[in-house]
Amino acid sequence: MASLNDLLRHHTPLPDPAQQHLRRLVAGWGPLSDLSFSDMLLFVTARDGRLLVVGQVRPTTTQTLYRTDHVGLFSKDRPLVTQALRSGMAAEGSVHRDSVDVPVKVRAVPVRHNGKIVAALVSESSRTAFRGSGELERAYFSVVERLFSMTSDGSFPYPFDDPTSETSPRVGDGVIVLDSEGRVEYTSPNAVSALHRTGFHANAVGRSVTEIGLPRDVLRTAFGLRAPLIHDLERGENVAIQLRLLPLLEQGRSAGALVLARDISDIRRQERLLVSMDATIREIHHRVKNNLQTVSSLLRLQGRRVTEPAAKTALDEASRRIRSIALVHEVLSRDGGDDVTLGDVIHPVVQMVQGALMDPDRPVDITIEGDGPVVSAETASSLAVVLTELIQNAVEHAFPLGEGPAHRRVTVHMKTVKNLLTVQVRDNGKGVPEDFDIDADPGLGLTIIRTLATADLGGTFVLERNDDGEGSVATLTVEV
């Protein structure tokens, strides 16, 4: 099924502002459908003169007439719609639909934008759908008549509105009708229950909005801007009622308001739990980072007391590997969540290696190209250790003492194509031997790299000479 945007763009000559007006209408017409107990269709005139349905909404307050979608269907036999589009006046009547067993009450309302008729809003309901004209029905019909009138004169939908939020109240959640002075004219049963949750147990009809807990400045702001506002009534930590206030306009002036009320206490409670959980996870990462840094510091202290060069080197390398994992937890403790941007980890890894291995008399310029993708914490930890080993190997082995170019370079390049991450560490040093066999190399560093690359990351690792014969290139490919 084509979208509203596609239908308007491909089948109508409407300019962009008019199309945007219709998009806002479709985004916010839920209350009209619910208040009128009717299915709603939005008709426009296509380039070939036929009528085209570009929008459809079903009510939540009664049973729908149609199980099928009408969006994208063309029609010529819609006399009431044609009448509304041509006359600029609402048209009503009763028709028979092949898919409906009972007569259908139809009302077609012209939709204006900047004084021009751009569409017709059609409400369709079963004449037998109503049990009678009770207080609730009368109140709903009274309000929706005013909204239909606003649609016809171009003041509905509102220029600035975001009615698509998941927590945005609907008519079924609770309805409060206010007059132009901010006094309550009607409260639906669900709205009464919501007010009871806030501690207001009196009859609200005839009372000011301030008495039911809605600040008057909110009403004044909505009336002054002639635009909807949302306000939360909170009573302690356990009760939260969200109010969505829609001004009812007559001849461009605020003449009352429709207030939709929804109990969002459970949603706010869940939000607080999520915030608390996020803080707990951050604290865990922070403590893990501190513990790893402590272990790394102990290894460095131990290394300073060791006189055997091989043992001292082994302890220093183990310390750096642990610190590289600690860097991942530091990022997670700062940003939260379970995922990290790889670049946020690689930059401190490079700084760590530079600080630990650089000889002021033989500097090596290490650069990073690309930010890398967002990866899981587990993947980031393995990649951090692998890159620590690769950069360390390049700095230590590519530029032996007394050898190498005057400008020593190591480049870390990250590139992601679809879900495939390629990390290359290039140097301009002496390069690996022509007959180099990575599987036969006994070095611990390359063994760690191979193991993490293949077993933990499920990727591939290749170490070879550069194509130009200058230096080496290590390539790690991982699916992320």
Residue range(s) occupied by CATH 3.30.450.20 in the chain:
171-263
Quote the pTM value: 0.63
By residue count, the chain amounts to 480
Token couple for 465: 């000479």
Q: How far is CA 156 from the centre of its chain?
A: 27
| pLDDT confidence of residue 465 | 85
Residue 276: what residue type?
Answer: S
Q: Is the dihedral of CA 371, 373, 377, 380 positive or negative?
A: negative
Going by C-beta distance under 8 Å and a sequence separation of 6 or more, which residues neighbour residue 11?
Answer: 44, 46, 47, 52
The one-digit pLDDT tens for each residue of the chain (480 residues) are 678 889 999 999 999 999 999 999 999 999 999 999 999 999 999 999 999 999 999 999 888 888 889 999 998 789 999 999 999 999 999 887 766 677 889 999 999 999 999 999 999 998 554 445 688 999 999 999 999 999 999 999 998 766 655 567 899 999 999 999 999 999 999 999 999 988 888 899 999 988 988 888 888 898 888 889 888 888 877 888 999 999 999 988 889 999 999 998 888 888 778 777 777 777 887 888 888 888 888 888 888 888 888 888 788 878 878 888 887 788 778 776 678 888 888 888 888 877 776 666 667 888 888 878 888 888 888 888 888 888 888 887 777 765 666 678 888 898 988 888 999 888 888 888 777 777 776 677 788 888 888 888 889 988 888 877 678 888 999 988
Task: Put residue 122 in one of left, alpha, beta given phi > 0 → left and psi -120 to 50 → alpha.
Answer: beta
Pick the CATH number of 4-153 from 3.40.50.720, 3.90.1310.10, 3.30.450.280, 3.40.1080.10: 3.30.450.280
Residue 351: what residue type?
Answer: Q
CA angle 425-428-431, nearest 5°?
Answer: 85
| pLDDT confidence of residue 167 | 61
Label residues 45-69 b or e (16+ Cβ within 10 Å = b).
bbeeeebbbbbbbbbebbebbeeee
Token couple for 267: 């949603």
CA angle 176-179-202, nearest 5°?
Answer: 50
Pick the CATH number of 171-263 from 3.30.450.20, 3.40.50.300, 3.40.640.10, 3.40.50.1370: 3.30.450.20
| pLDDT confidence of residue 442 | 67
Q: State the Cα–Cα distance between residues 230 and 169, nearest whole angstrom.
A: 10
Token couple for 221: 């702001």
Residue range(s) occupied by CATH 3.30.450.280 in the chain:
4-153
Name residue 112's beta-bridge partners: 117
| pLDDT confidence of residue 360 | 66
Q: State the Cα–Cα distance between residues 275 and 272, nearest whole angstrom.
A: 5
Going by C-beta distance under 8 Å and a sequence separation of 6 or more, which residues neighbour residue 215?
Answer: 209, 231
Q: Is the dihedral of CA 1, 63, 58, 91 positive or negative?
A: positive
| pLDDT confidence of residue 403 | 64
